[in-house]
Amino acid sequence: MFNILLRFIVLLSLAVLGYMLGNQYLGSPAGLITALITLGLPLVNSYVNLAKLQKYIIAGNSENIPSVSGKWEDIFFRLQRLARGMRQKVRQIEVQHERFIQALQASPNGIVMLDDRDQIEWCNAIAESYFGINYKRDVLQKINYLIRKPEFVTYLMQRNFNEPLLLEQMGPAANLTLMLQVFPFAENRSLLFSQDITDLRKTEAMRRDFVANVSHEMRTPLTVMTGFLETVLTLDLDPDQRTRYLKMMQIQAQRMQSLVEDLLTLANLEANILVPLMQPIDMPSVVALLKHDAEALSHGDHQIEFAVDQEHDILGNQKELLSAFSNLLSNAVHYTPQGRKIYVAWQVDKNLQGNFSVRDTGNGIASEHLPRLTERFYRIDRSRSRETGGTGLGLAIVKHIANRHQARLQIESTLGKGSTFLLQFPSERVVAI
Ligand code: ADP
Q: What spacing in Å lies between the alpha carbon of 303 and ligand 1's midpoint?
A: 20
Between residues 59 and 423, which one has the greater pLDDT? 423
Total number of residues shown for the chain: 433
Judgement on whether residues 46 and 139 belong to the same structural domain of the protein: no
User: At residue 268, does pLDDT exceed 80?
Assistant: yes
Which pTM value belongs to this model?
A: 0.68
Q: Is residue 102 part of a domain?
A: no
Q: For 113-120, what is the mean pLDDT? A: 96
> Which ligand 1 atom is nearest residue 391's CA?
2
Beta bridge partners of 304: 342
Contacts of 285 (CB under 8 A, 6+ apart): none
Best residue among 214, 297, 304, 379 to mutate for probing ligand 1, ranked by most atoms within 8 Å of CB: 379
Q: Which of 241, 271, 301 is the last residue of a domain?
A: 271
Tell which residue, 418, 323, 307, has the closest CA to residue 356: 307
Judgement on whether residues 286 and 423 belong to the same structural domain of the protein: yes
Element (H, E) at 432: strand 430-432
**Per-residue pLDDT band at 263 (split at 50, 70, 90):** very high
The CATH number that applies at residue 396 is 3.30.565.10
Does residue 411's CB lie within 6 angstroms of at least one atom of ligand 1? no
Say how far apart CA 389 and CA 259 lie, in whole Å: 9
pLDDT > 70 fraction of the chain, expressed in percent and rounded:
99
Contacts of 97 (CB under 8 A, 6+ apart): none
Q: Is residue 97 part of a domain?
A: no
Q: Is residue 101 part of a domain?
A: no
Whole-number average pLDDT of the chain: 92
Best residue among 326, 331, 409 to mutate for probing ligand 1, ranked by most atoms within 8 Å of CB: 331
Contacts of 174 (CB under 8 A, 6+ apart): none
Judgement on whether residues 315 and 216 belong to the same structural domain of the protein: no
Q: Per residue in 272-292, is it b (16+ CB within 10 Å) or e — as a string?
A: eebeeeeeebebbebbeebbe
Does residue 315's CB lie within 6 angstroms of at least one atom of ligand 1? no
Ligand 1, atom 7, residue with closest C-alpha? 394
Q: What spacing in Å lies between the alpha carbon of 379 and ligand 1's midpoint?
A: 6
Which of 44-58, 105-119, 393-407 bottoms out in mean pLDDT, i.e. has the lowest? 44-58
Judgement on whether residues 327 and 234 belong to the same structural domain of the protein: no
Q: What spacing in Å lies between the alpha carbon of 385 and ligand 1's midpoint?
A: 7
Tell which residue, 294, 210, 259, has the closest CA to residue 393: 259
Does residue 394's CB lie within 6 angstroms of at least one atom of ligand 1? yes
DSSP code, position 282: -
Q: Is residue 59 part of a domain?
A: yes
Report pLDDT digits (tens) over 351-362.
999 999 999 999
> Which ligand 1 atom is nearest residue 381's CA?
16
Query: Rounded to 5 degrees, what angle do the CA atoms 320, 282, 342 make?
Result: 70
Report pLDDT digits (tens) over 62-93.
888 888 888 889 999 999 999 999 999 999 99
Q: What spacing in Å lies between the alpha carbon of 389 and ligand 1's midpoint?
A: 11
* Long-range Cβ contacts of 356-359 (<8 Å, 24+ apart): 356/325, 356/422, 356/423, 356/425, 357/420, 357/421, 357/422, 357/423, 358/325, 358/328, 358/329, 358/331, 358/332, 358/420, 358/421, 359/332, 359/418, 359/419, 359/420, 359/421
Judgement on whether residues 118 and 177 belong to the same structural domain of the protein: yes
Strand ranges (E), 255-397? 279-281, 303-308, 312-316, 341-348, 354-360
Q: Is residue 325 part of a domain?
A: yes
Q: What 3-state class would DSSP assign to 376?
A: coil
Q: Is residue 298 part of a domain?
A: yes
The CATH number that applies at residue 166 is 3.30.450.20
Query: Rounded to 5 degrees, what angle do the CA atoms 364, 369, 370 make?
Result: 75
Judgement on whether residues 192 and 206 belong to the same structural domain of the protein: no
Does residue 11's CB lie within 6 angstroms of at least one atom of ligand 1? no
Q: What spacing in Å lies between the alpha carbon of 223 and ligand 1's midpoint?
A: 24
Report pLDDT digits (tens) over 278-315.
889 999 999 999 999 999 999 999 999 999 999 999 99
User: At residue 387, does pLDDT exceed 90?
Assistant: no
Judgement on whether residues 295 and 369 belong to the same structural domain of the protein: yes
Judgement on whether residues 290 and 383 belong to the same structural domain of the protein: yes
Report how far apart, in Å, the C-alpha atoms of 382 and of each of 221, 254, 367 are: 14, 18, 18
- Write out the residue range of the structural domain in which residue 209 sits: 201-271
Q: For 105-117, what is the mean pLDDT? A: 96
Element (H, E) at 131: helix 125-131
Between residues 142 and 277, which one has the greater pLDDT? 142
Q: What 3-state class would DSSP assign to 414?
A: strand
Q: Could you tell me whether strands 341-348 and 303-308 are parallel, antiparallel, or unpaired per DSSP bridges?
A: parallel
Query: How much is the pLDDT for 276?
Result: 62
Ligand 1, atom 16, residue with closest C-alpha? 380
Query: Rounded to 5 degrees, what angle do the CA atoms 64, 70, 74 make?
Result: 50
Q: Is residue 175 part of a domain?
A: yes
Judgement on whether residues 286 and 381 belong to the same structural domain of the protein: yes
Q: For 363-390, what is the mean pLDDT? A: 87
Ligand 1, atom 19, residue with closest C-alpha? 331
> Which ligand 1 atom is nearest residue 395's CA?
6
Judgement on whether residues 189 and 169 belong to the same structural domain of the protein: yes
Query: How much is the pLDDT for 65?
Result: 85
The CATH number that applies at residue 250 is 1.10.287.130
> Which ligand 1 atom is nearest residue 332's CA?
23
Determine the straight-line distance between the first and last CA of the chain, rounded to whole angstroms.
Answer: 100
Query: How much is the pLDDT for 329?
Result: 97
Best residue among 323, 334, 360, 385 to mutate for probing ligand 1, ranked by most atoms within 8 Å of CB: 385
Q: Which of 168, 196, 224 is the last residue of a domain?
A: 196
Query: How much is the pLDDT for 1?
Result: 66
Between residues 5 and 149, which one has the greater pLDDT? 149
Got the DSSP string for 174-242? T-EEEEEEEEEETTTEEEEEEEE-HHHHHHHHHHHHHHHHHHHHHHHHHHHHHHHHHHHHHS---HHHH
Number of structural domains found in the chain = 4
The number of angstroms, rounded, from the C-alpha of 421 to the middle of its chain's C-alpha atoms is: 32
Per the CB < 8 A criterion, the answer to whether 420 and 411 are in contact is: yes
Which of 57-66, 119-128, 138-147, 220-229 bottoms out in mean pLDDT, i.e. has the lowest? 57-66
Judgement on whether residues 288 and 415 belong to the same structural domain of the protein: yes
Q: Per residue in 325-358, is it b (16+ CB within 10 Å) or e — as a string?
A: bbbbbbbbbbbbeeeeebbbbbebeeeebbbbbb
Q: What spacing in Å lies between the alpha carbon of 343 and ligand 1's midpoint?
A: 17
Ligand 1, atom 20, residue with closest C-alpha? 331
Per the CB < 8 A criterion, the answer to whether 196 and 170 are in contact is: no
Element (H, E) at 262: helix 239-270
Does residue 379's CB lie within 6 angstroms of at least one atom of ligand 1? yes
Per the CB < 8 A criterion, the answer to whether 125 and 140 are in contact is: no
User: At residue 50, does pLDDT exceed 80?
Assistant: yes
Query: How much is the pLDDT for 23?
Result: 85
Q: Which of 224, 245, 271 is the last residue of a domain?
A: 271
Report pLDDT digits (tens) over 167-209.
999 999 999 999 999 999 988 899 999 999 999 999 999 899 9
DSSP code, position 149: -
Does residue 360's CB lie within 6 angstroms of at least one atom of ligand 1? yes
Does residue 395's CB lie within 6 angstroms of at least one atom of ligand 1? yes
Judgement on whether residues 168 and 220 belong to the same structural domain of the protein: no
Say how far apart CA 291 and CA 325 lie, in whole Å: 11
pLDDT > 90 fraction of the chain, expressed in percent and rounded:
74
Q: Is residue 71 part of a domain?
A: yes
Does residue 31's CB lie within 6 angstroms of at least one atom of ligand 1? no
